[in-house]
Amino acid sequence: MDGGEVGLFIFDADNNVRRDLDRYSDLLADRCWVIIDDYLGPAKAAPIRAQVDALVSEGRLLPFGYYGWGTWVGQWQRA
């Protein structure tokens, strides 16, 4: 797969969103849709929320909102 081809990235794993986005960011298209599970909710959500909020503050993620039981929805923005 060439860089910048992924248009949808769904994250539902451990609590290290930043690590995975850093690892795969070269594959993500600008404005790639990003879905992150567990943004809100139980204790495991706290580290995810902190990392997502930091990425939003840095301008790397553009938030659209969170839905259902705390699933974050937004887009990736290339630097």
Residue 10 has a pLDDT of 95
Residue 79 has a pLDDT of 73
Q: What is the pLDDT of residues 54-79, one digit of tens each?
A: 999 999 999 999 998 889 999 999 87
What is the spatial distance between Cα 5 and Cα 66, in angstroms, rounded to a whole number? 25
Quick one: how far is CA 34 from the chain centroid?
5
**Residue 15 binned pLDDT confidence (cut-offs 50, 70, 90):** confident
Q: What is the pLDDT of residues 16-57, one digit of tens each?
A: 899 999 999 999 999 999 999 989 877 777 889 999 999 999
Phi, psi of 43 (to 5 degrees): -55, -30
Residue 1 has a pLDDT of 63
What is the spatial distance between Cα 56 and Cα 76, in angstroms, rounded to a whole number? 9
Strands (E), 1-79: 6-11, 28-36, 61-67, 71-76
